[in-house]
Structure 1
Amino acid sequence: MQANPTWPNLASMMFALARQWPSRPMLRGWRDGGWHTIRWGEFGRMAASCARHLRQAGVAAGDRVLLCMENRPEFPLTETALMAIQAVPVPAYTTNTVDDHAHLLRDSGARTAVVSSAALADRLLAAAAKGNGLQLLIVTDGVPSVDAGAARVLSWADLIEDQRPPDDVAAEVAAIPPTALACLIYTSGTGGSPRGVMLPHRAILSNCAGAAELVRPLGLRDEVYLSYLPVSHAYEHTVGQFFMLSLGTEIVYARGVEHLAADMLAVRPTILTAVPRVLEVIRMRVLTQLARETPLRQRLFQTAAAIGLKRVDGERLTLSERLLDPLLDRLVRAKVRARFGGRLVAAMSGGARLDPEVGRFFQSLGMTIMQGYGQTEAGPVISANPPDAIRIDTVGKPLSGVDVRIAGDGEILVRGGLVMDGYWNRPRDTEATIRDGWLHTGDIGELDRGYLRITDRKKDMIVLSGGENVSPAKIEGMLMAETEIAQAVVTGEGRSGVSALVVPADGHDDVGVALAISRTNYRLSVTERVRKHAVVSPFTIDNGLLTPLQKIRRVLVMRANAHILGRLH
């Protein structure tokens, strides 16, 4: 595994690695019906060419530039070029509406945008018409179909035509200090308008250094990483892009979530990041398929899982279990691991709470699941489970260089180089969030022998009419771990008991949902039990009830289903 030297900034890191590994595969994307590879040396030349042309086109230091494209090689190329000239990338989701883009353009003051398609270009131009307009629009594929107005339109291909070596740009970026603003990432938010988080180079580099120390026991080398979570999100932006590249990992960009299962089989990744929802869906499919198998196959699976859990828990295996285990690994566990391509060394789960039962399910099948925790304001990684000492009911230990303490009211406070500079143009919000050098996360948790456990969001805690505090995240996670339930939102503020809005999993109805709720209630305390529920329509990105990283927007779900909640309460 690549040692983690101290780079002054992210652009310097990228050019240094391009010089170190000119012929090493770096990025792989799908184009024209096949996979195409960009090597590090080619990346360095293209990024330097892009930096020179952006500057010639009028992009200056400090300018904010909106980046809106799918996960593809042009994203890190363009972002590295912008950082090299000290412009500020503003990653934006391709799923954003015109109004979403208009907010980002107005709030950030961006007058330049780089997009990946004519359709996205049209959406950005419509958004610009609602605000200050655009001066420059760069499109990687195609041309806008609507009038660009005063905006100058360039093809991205023209930006990378310069064949000169990157030496001049690489020398220039060495002078950029770690404290300089690297990017402006807007929180996807489960409620309220997104705020721009100012992340300096030191914040993301701090994450890279801490994560490199964390994964050292894995002995990573020549890894292949499948990138499918939106790179515009802080989690994938840092972990799936800069951190993975800092290790020399080849990044393969998935063709889209709809092709994820096929891409896993084709690419056979060795490293993966995942949001809990992806792991929940795979587990649900495995269990659904298992229910259709013969009693003998079901017993084999259950035995394999039971022996696997004994090993996870450090229990001694009997002689018969030790003899049977290799056979069960080939017949049972290997088939589940094959769904991920069969070569997976480790998967990092983050972005939301992973139900311990889901984590233990995959652990029992021989998979290394490293649950972590963070938020955009912290680079975003705060803690993660070390691969050789996983406690799946926790979000692991704070990364090296990160201080964590628990406030009197249970709130998790964070300090270190990973902490943001603040919110863009929101000094009051910044002062309320960073006090005396400590980032107030808004999450409630506890430290257990050095491991951090999240119990709830401070503002999301439900207080029942009897004064009891109830954690909706805990109950929702347990409900969604049931095979009959795809999504759930728990409510009950000021009420006598807890109610739930539930979306059934494919192939299941209200009867199955009711049974799943009964099973869940059996494991909950009296005050936590779901007393009433209603089956509702799915929460999706398109209807605005799901963030691009598959987080449920609880406030908006309750607002959209207010009439149903009225009947429940």
Structure 2
Amino acid sequence: MKGTGHTEKELAEIDLVRPLLSDFLSIWNEFLRTGRLDVSYFNDQFTALLKTGVVPDFIRLDEFRQFLQSWGEIAEYPEISGGLYQSLPLEVAEEFLRRLTGAVKRQEADSAVSPESEIGEVLFFLKNPLWLQRVSAAGRHNTWFDLFLGLIQAGNFHVGNFFQTWSKHYQDEVVFKCSRNGQLHHMNWEELQDRILRTGKAMQKFFQESGTKPHVAIISRNRPEMVVVDLAALCFGYVNIMVPDNATPDDMAFMIDDSEASLLFLTDEHQLQVLLPHLPGIEQLKKIVLFDGPSETYDRKVVSYKRFVQSAQLSGKDLEQEFPGDIRITDLATIMYTSGTTGKPKGIMFSHLNIISKRFARALAWPMVGENDVFLCYLPLYHTFGRWLEMMGSLFWGATYVFVQSPSINNLIREMQIHRPTVFISIPQKWQQIYQYIAQQIDLERAPLEQIKNMLDYCTGGALRLGLSAAGYLEPEIFKFFQQNGVDLMSGFGMTEATGGITMTLPGKYKENSLGAVLPGIELGLAADGELIMRGPYVMIGYWKAPGEESFDSEGWFHSGDLMKKDVDDYYYIIDRKKEIYKNLKGQTIAPQRIEKLFRDIEAVKRVFLVGDQREYNTLLIYPNYQYQDVNLRDMSPVELNEFMQSLVVSVNRFLAPYERIVQFRVIDRDFSQELDELTPKKTYRRKVIEKNFRAEINRMYQAKFVRMRFKQFQLL
């Protein structure tokens, strides 16, 4: 061992542990050949090996690389790993991870260990629910998050590494289910990886030949191809941009242009025709790919998804290659747009570290979720709730992800009955609708408890055990209804800027009107005025091309714009909003100032006030400008004044996305007043006060009955 650079003490430790390591590998390799194993003795050897405390000294040895590789293999045998998850001392595993992380940080370029692969095997082993439930029971969530984070950073464990490791172990397991043309289709991990490789290689060829910036924009309704393109871009290190398909064509074009996308994926020709008039002038956009179609001939700029993938002309050897190895976890991975408070949408930048670290945080918060769970894909994949928690969460847990054809309540219940989800993540509206659906079937006040439970099981498939309601307010009565009938429904709060959730009520520990306690891996605080502030590895990098809008202070705190308080159990409660933004009942983000601003150039209007926070649709309070010279508004009858104002509202609605549009309005008989505390000294709105003072007018706008008309792209009320 001379010339190795080890001290005499280290050499002595190596001499001690090498027989243990060789014996362990011999036992394991024999099991892989014959299937015979003394599980108790094997587990003792595994624990003893970790206790040696000289892991860093073996980072260069092939045997140690094999040892790390075996972690993922062991995880595939529950009859073996189950014993380790129950018996391996937490403190032994913790010390091993600290030493392993330190060793990876110190390793030289020619090390025998490949962090991107072997580190993934260790992480795959440790994300098991049996292990994480022990961590949770010991109250060591934050300790383990820090350990996971250290290993992720040291091993540069990015999205491509994650997917490649997980797909190797889950190969034949079903990952997606999707109904098309009355047929239920399944996709396993091996097929998903094949599609990701083919799509990623086609992107690679396009970017190399076009010489354009590798930015990929996606505008689509939820479908498996959308996820494939998303994952392909992430795994190949190309920046992808999720553009909301319910945005206005102008805003869609802005996001494509602003993000510098040169490659665009769309659902179909209908979407293309809507968008085409708004695309001229976006010079960097070189290729448009349609998931469905095209059926007619366009210029060479537009191709079908099938033809785009075939253009790479891949051989079997190409598909055996791994994802590119030059990705860094701190690299920009994706941009997601959210409503600007007064102007155009703003892009939120996420790194691979943001994405991966959040998955381990969520796993520690929900240690009971695992490979046998079933999730429904119905929340939009261009929102953090659907993309990160539903989609990436389902992949991380090795669960089954079922694409729902329509989010309507009748279809949702039908799909629940077919696919029997075990976990349901939703905005408040769907929990309300399920509750109301059941209330229409039976008398909840008189029916026996067993009948209520049976009806809930009938509606949801009978397997639902966990739920999360976030992105809006849900009545405590509804939380308690589900909790009393076998569904542990939790409340949560999050922000796009923090990759979604940052607080959640703990399993079995719901508190009325609370947003819950902080998730592992993020630090929360309250500023002097009560504003919630946060920092941590899954908080965004920043805003794309908008450094002046960044909400980080000099100490690295991100300012949420929400005023909160917390109780003695560190559960958070929202008091008010500091920023001019809200979410409707469907969880869609709306910036009222931006909509109100559209009326500023209309001389017949003096003041407008948008209402819609936690409501099904937007309404408007209007105070006319009675000094308007062109038309004498005071001489109009109430009916004439309403018709005149309605024409103005209709004209403004043309510039709004369907979910932003104003459905009802009321002409009010007085202007807002500073004396009544409705306006600040700067004449800005005190929104809570205005809503309180005009409560009667507002409530009347939500008592009206509307007919629902569903079109291909949107819904009218």
TM-score, scaled relative to structure 2: 0.59
Counterpart in the other structure of 2:389: 239
Find the aligned partners of 1:386 and 1:188 in 2 and give their Cα distance: 30
* Residue in 1 that maps onto 2:561: 442
1:348 matches 2:468 = yes
Q: What is aligned with 1:73?
A: 224
- Distance 1:444-1:156 versus aligned 2 partners, 3 A rule: farther
Query: Is this contact kept in 2: 1:402–1:414, CA < 8 A?
Result: yes
Cα deviation code 1:325-362 (max 9, x no counterpart): xxx23x21221232222111211212223332332232
- Which is worse superposed, 195-204 or 532-541? 532-541
Q: Relative to structure 1, is the Cα distance of residues 198 and 156 closer, same or farther in structure 2, using a 3 angstrom cutoff? A: farther
Aligned residue type for 2:433: V
AA paired with 2:420? Answer: R
2:478 is matched with 358
Q: Distance in 1 between matches of 2:462 and 2:610?
A: 32
User: In 2, Cα distance between the equivalents of 1:76 and 1:131?
Assistant: 25
Q: Distance in 1 between matches of 2:276 and 2:270?
A: 10
Letter in 2 for 1:242: M
Measured against aligned partners, the alpha-carbon deviations of 1:57-86 in whole angstroms (never above 9, x if no partner) come to 226795221112222211221112112332
Q: 1:411 aligns with which of 531, 541, 559?
A: 531
Partners of 1:249 and 1:415 lie apart in 2 by 30
Q: Which amino acid aligns with 1:40?
A: W
Q: Indicate conservation of the 8 Å contact 2:221/2:380, yes or no.
A: yes
* Alpha carbons of structure 1 residues 67 and 282: separation in structure 2 relative to 1, 3 Å: same
What's the secondary structure of 2:157's corresponding residue?
coil
Give CA deviations for 1:22-58 in whole Å, capped at 9, x if unaligned: 1111111222321111111111122112111111122
d(CA) in 2 for partners of 1:352 and 1:190?
18
Q: Would the alpha carbon gap of residues 221 and 52 (structure 1) be closer, same or farther in structure 2, given more than 3 Å must change? A: closer
C-alpha separation in 1, matches of 2:476 and 2:324? 48
- Give 3-state SS (helix, strand or coil) of 1:446's partner: strand
- Asked if structure 2 preserves the Cα contact closer than 8 Å seen for 1:79 and 1:89, the reply is yes
Tell which deviates more after alignment, 197-206 or 118-127.
Answer: 118-127
Whole-Å Cα distance in 2 between the matches of residues 74 and 384 of structure 1? 31
Give the 5 Å matches for 1:387-426. Answer: 387-426=507-546
Give the Å deviation of 1:445. 0.9
**Are residues 1:205 and 2:324 paired?**
no
Q: Does 1:44 align with 2:193?
A: yes
Cα separation, 1, equivalents of 2:423 and 2:610 = 27
1:542–1:298 Cα change, 3 Å: closer
Match of 2:324 among 139, 162, 172: 172
- In structure 2, relative to structure 1, the CA distance for the partners of 1:473 and 1:416 (3 Å cut) is farther
| Residue of structure 2 equivalent to 1:261 | 413
Structure 2 unaligned blocks of 5 or more: 1-74, 76-123, 128-147, 583-608, 624-687
Residue 402 of structure 1 deviates from its aligned partner by: 0.6
Label 1:144 to 1:455 Cα distance change in 2 as closer, same or farther (>3 A): farther
CA displacement 1:89-119 (0-9 Å, x = unmatched): 1112232332121111121121210122222
Distance 1:411 1:492 in 2: 31
Quote the offset at 1:127 in angstroms: 2.9
Q: Which amino acid is the alignment partner of residue 423 of structure 1?
A: Y
Partner residue, 2:659: none
Q: Which amino acid aligns with 1:246?
A: F
- TM-score (norm: length of structure 1): 0.73
Q: Is the 8 A contact 1:8 1:176 kept in 2?
A: no
Structure 1 residues 473, 372: CA separation in 2 closer, same or farther (over 3 Å shift)? Answer: farther
Residue type of the alignment partner of 1:18: S
Aligned CA RMSD, in angstroms, stands at: 3.7
Secondary structure of the structure 2 residue equivalent to 1:393? coil
Aligned position for 2:681:
none
1:319 is aligned to none
Letter in 1 for 2:249: V
Name whichever of 24-33 and 267-276 sits farther off: 24-33
Q: What one-letter code is carried by the residue in structure 2 that aligns with 1:227?
A: C
Residue 25 of structure 1 pairs with residue 25 of structure 2: no
1:277 maps to what in 2? 429
Deviation at 1:18, TM superposition (A): 1.0
Q: 2:303 aligns with which of 127, 143, 153?
A: 153
- Aligned 1:317-332 pairs, distance under 5 A: 328-329=449-450, 331-332=451-452
The whole-number CA distance in structure 2 between the counterparts of 1:300 and 1:286 is: 11
Contact 1:121 1:144 in 2 (8 A): no
Larger strand percent: 1
One-letter code of the match for 2:425? T
Q: 2:225 is matched by which residue type in structure 1?
A: E
Residue pair 1:371, 1:392 contacting (<8 A) in 2 also: no
Alignment of 1:308-323 (within 5 A): none
Deviation (angstroms), 1:366: 2.7
One-letter identity of the residue aligned with 1:17: W
Q: Deviations over 1:363-387 (max 9, x none)?
A: 2333211211111111122122222
Aligned to 2:277: 126
Task: Measure how far apart 1:270 and its partner are.
Answer: 0.9
Contact kept, 8 Å, 2:212 with 2:262, in 1: the verdict is no
**Matched-pair contact (CA < 8 Å) for 1:140–1:155:** yes
What residue number does 2:597 align with? none
Distance in 2 separating the partners of 1:299 and 1:38: 45
1:265-313 Cα shifts (integer Å, max 9, x gaps): 11111111110111122223333444xx5xxx74235xxxxxxxxxxxx
Give the letter for the 1:416 counterpart: G
Native 8 Å contact 1:412 1:443 kept in 2: yes
1:223 matched to 2:389: no
CA distance in 2, matches of 1:198, 1:390: 33
Q: Distance in 2 between matches of 1:89 and 1:144?
A: 26
Q: Which residue of 2 aligns with 1:451?
A: 571
CA contact (8 A) 1:45 1:165 kept: no
Task: Please identify which structure carries the higher helix content.
Answer: 2
Give secondary structure in 2 for the equivalent of 1:29. Answer: strand
Could you say which structure has the larger radius of gyration? Answer: 2
Structure 1 gap ranges (5+) = 302-327, 463-471, 481-485, 494-523, 551-556, 558-569
Task: Tell me what 1:87 maps to.
Answer: 238
Is 1:12 the counterpart of 2:161? The answer is yes
The equivalent of 2:32 in structure 1 is: none
**CA distance, structure 2, for counterparts of residue 451 and residue 419 of structure 1:** 20
**Using the alignment, how far apart are the partners of 1:45 and 1:107 within structure 2?**
32
SS at match of 2:492: strand
Matched, 1:535 2:691: no
Residues matched between the structures, number: 465
